[in-house]
Amino acid sequence: MAGSGKTTFMQRLNSHLHAEKTPPYVINLDPATLKVPFGCHIDIRDSIKYKKVMENYDLGPNGAIVTSLNLFSTKIDQVMKIVEKRSTTFENCIIDTPGQIECFVWSASGSIITESFASQYPTVIAYIVDTPRNQSPSTFMSNMLYACSILYKTKLPMILVFNKNDVVKADFAIDWMKDFEAFQDAILKDKELQGETGMGSGYMGSLINSMSLMLEEFYSQLDCVQVSSATGAGFDDFMKAVKSKGEEYNQYYKKEREAALKKKEEEEEQMKKQSINKLMKDLNLKSKVKKDNGAESDSSADVISDLEEGENDGIVYPDEEEDDIAQPSREYTFSEDREMGEVNDNNPDLQAMYQEAMEKTSKDISSETAENIAKYIRG
């Protein structure tokens, strides 16, 4: 969420990995930030000018972020080639997303960028939580619902990172996640403090109770760590969680993604076949069918105009006496040992024949015209 310390977390994580002699590959995807407090290998601001996007497309801040990401995602293949080329020089790649979570997670470009990385490398989502702000059960529940939606949207391993541990310990939040009754007690205390307007009363109290039961399965899929981006505490635990989730990705998520992609390809192929069959049926076309011996059976294709109805539909019916007349077959003059367009012995020079016929016709017309003129003068 906004103000949870994502960029500060990135800065501390970058410093921690450098201190461990394993410098990461760093990518910044936030086009609206004025200053990035860490060195970037790839920065969206180098190719996309956020203010120009606002001016050129008449957009507000969030719309400009989405549009900037859309423009950047059109070049994601180049980004992946750069990362792949440098992949032998680093162990971890860390990516800072835009400050507005909805601009990235629920936009098409966010999905494209996420899936591009997830299709090639073990990818882990780190959801940063502002611990001091989550001491209220209602705010905590809102954050968990956000995290839940992101998990099922991206379908990738997720780590819940309780930031600002130096201000407030996140033990209370972890207890709420593990113990349903502890969360119920927190709701009752909130009701006592706020009276009838508290979250433990009426409809909202019933909703939060139901949500807390539903989220028990969601909590079981998460690894929770407490960190302080200001002091650097807890980042060893975070890297252990990343390693664990990387193994989980290879064991479960990778197989699921490959199965999903294979199913998608099969569905697209099936849809393509159905579309072709439907088109053939609509046009009433008969394709050549091969027999068991490999020969092609005789079948004809109807002309589209023959399927039209009406008096002036273009249908031409042959005369009855012409039914038995054999139709001429076309003889191609192109042979392998002759130049293209050469006339062979079986086919005379058609151009000469046409020229001779035109000259004869013009002479006949000229003599006839002269005779008519003479008759006119005599008359």
Q: What is the pLDDT of residues 56-70, one digit of tens each?
A: 999 998 889 999 999
- Counting residues of the chain whose pLDDT is more than 90, the rounded percentage is 31
The answer on pLDDT for 307 being more than 90 is no
CA neighbor of 208 nearest in space, from 140, 112, 126, 290: 140
Q: Average of pLDDT values for 205-210?
A: 72
**pTM > 0.85:** no
The answer on pLDDT for 129 being more than 90 is yes
Per the model's pLDDT, the better-predicted residue between 122 and 361 turns out to be 122
Q: Give me the pLDDT at residue 239, please.
A: 95
Q: Give me the pLDDT at residue 354, please.
A: 56
The answer on pLDDT for 333 being more than 50 is no
Instruction: Report whether 76 contacts 121 (CB < 8 A).
Output: no
pLDDT band at 236 (very low <50, low <70, confident <90, very high): very high
Per-position DSSP letters for 121-143, written without gaps between them: S---EEEEEEGGGGGSHHHHHHH
Instruction: Report whether 226 contacts 162 (CB < 8 A).
Output: yes
Strands 158-163 and 223-226, bridge-based pairing:
parallel
Dihedral of alpha carbons 222, 224, 230, 234, sign: negative
Q: Which CATH number fits domain 6-194+207-261: 3.40.50.300, 3.30.530.20, 1.10.238.10, 1.20.140.10?
A: 3.40.50.300
The answer on pLDDT for 306 being more than 70 is no
Give me the residue spans of the domains in the chain: 6-194+207-261
The answer on pLDDT for 160 being more than 80 is yes
At 41, list the tokens: 């290998």
